[in-house]
């Protein structure tokens, strides 16, 4: 078992958690997909770096194979919006962020919207993101915080940066590299609901040029660091 593997989860979390549970489960699981997604998200099922002592953390940062997965910044953003604000299955983001966003950025909001925060518009989410007040409130939520601020690629020497765009290929490469590629494959998953470039362009078509410029500024470092080109739909002038 390759114990010497550490990771930071930014994209494709559920499937990586399943894979890590197979690797650390002492034979409890053999197939990642037999693990229900809610099980994969039970915090106690996986140990994170901050649960170790400083000495143990340093040992891991120094000796373990470290990898990071990134995604095109605006696809990641639209994906986060769709997952956290437009789906009904878990209302915790509606309550935590939706109510605040509607209170601040929607004029004449209904009582229901103010209480449940369940119908945040993409435009309102962007109003929230680019508002300097939001930055002053503290770090952004991990789902829309920039990867460079979340994962510190200049301080942590990742052995590999994988891309969501080539997720299966890159993930299986890692599994082979750490010696479990024969028995374990990264789960393939339905691509039908995936946020695409075309979908992202549609969401962006609804926000002003000024906000597009502000958003690009906010995520510029992620575009540059991870070699993503400026999307063709983006209006920057
Ligand atoms: C909903 O999501 C929040 C934050 O991700 C999580 O803490 C909570 O356990 C989830 N609730 C359910 C019922 O899945
Ligand atoms: C809000 O409601 C008031 C009273 O109904 C109306 O006069 C005003 O135009 C509304 N404002 C917006 C932005 O819809
Ligand atoms: C864009 O705005 C229009 C009009 O407000 C709305 O009907 C549509 O759903 C929006 N599209 C997206 C992708 O947000
Ligand atoms: C950056 O992206 C370009 C175009 O997609 C590609 O040709 C190039 O190899 C990439 N560079 C790195 C270091 O990944």
Q: Would you list the domain boundaries of the chain? A: 5-72+146-193, 76-143+196-221
Residue identifier of the C-alpha nearest atom 5 of ligand 2? 108
Considering every ligand atom, which ligand is closest to the CA of 89? 1
- Summarised one tens digit per residue, pLDDT across range 49-85 is 888 999 999 999 999 999 999 999 999 999 999 989 9
* pLDDT category of residue 191 using cuts at 50, 70 and 90: low
Considering every ligand atom, which ligand is closest to the CA of 207? 3
* pLDDT category of residue 12 using cuts at 50, 70 and 90: low
Q: For residue 95, what pLDDT is reported?
A: 92
**Exposed e or buried b for every residue in 112-124, given b needs 16+ CB within 10 A?**
ebeeebbbbbbeb
Mean pLDDT of the chain: 88
CA of residue 122 to ligand 2 center, whole Å: 21
C-beta of residue 49 within 8 angstroms of C-beta of residue 201:
no
The Cα–Cα gap between 149 and 77 comes to: 15
Measured from the Cα of 108, ligand 2's closest atom is 1
The Cα–Cα gap between 141 and 161 comes to: 22
C-beta of residue 74 within 8 angstroms of C-beta of residue 204:
yes
Residue identifier of the C-alpha nearest atom 3 of ligand 1? 92
Q: For the whole model, what pTM was predicted?
A: 0.86
């Amino acid at each position: 078992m390759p114990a010497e593997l550490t990771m930071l989860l930014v994209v494709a979390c559920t499937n990586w958690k399943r894979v890590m549970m197979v690797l650390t489960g002492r034979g409890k699981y053999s197939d990642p997909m037999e693990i229900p997604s809610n099980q994969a998200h039970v915090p106690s099922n996986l140990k994170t770096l901050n649960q170790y002592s400083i000495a143990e953390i340093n040992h891991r940062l120094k000796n373990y194979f470290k990898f990071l997965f990134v995604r095109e910044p605006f696809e990641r953003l639209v994906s986060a919006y769709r997952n956290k604000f437009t789906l009904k299955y878990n209302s915790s983001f509606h309550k935590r962020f939706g109510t605040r966003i509607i209170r601040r950025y929607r004029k004449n909001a209904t009582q229901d919207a103010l209480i449940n925060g369940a119908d945040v518009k993409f435009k309102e989410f962007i109003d929230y993101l680019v508002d300097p007040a939001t930055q002053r409130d503290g770090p952004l939520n991990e789902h829309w915080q920039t990867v460079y601020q979340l994962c510190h690629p200049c301080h942590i020497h990742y052995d590999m940066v994988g891309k969501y765009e080539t997720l299966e290929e890159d993930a299986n490469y890692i599994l082979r590299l750490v010696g479990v590629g024969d028995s374990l494959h990264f789960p393939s998953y339905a691509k039908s609901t995936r946020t695409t470039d075309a979908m992202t362009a549609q969401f962006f078509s609804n926000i002003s040029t000024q906000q597009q410029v502000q958003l690009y500024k906010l995520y510029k470092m992620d575009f540059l660091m991870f070699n993503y080109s400026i999307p063709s739909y983006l209006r920057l002038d």
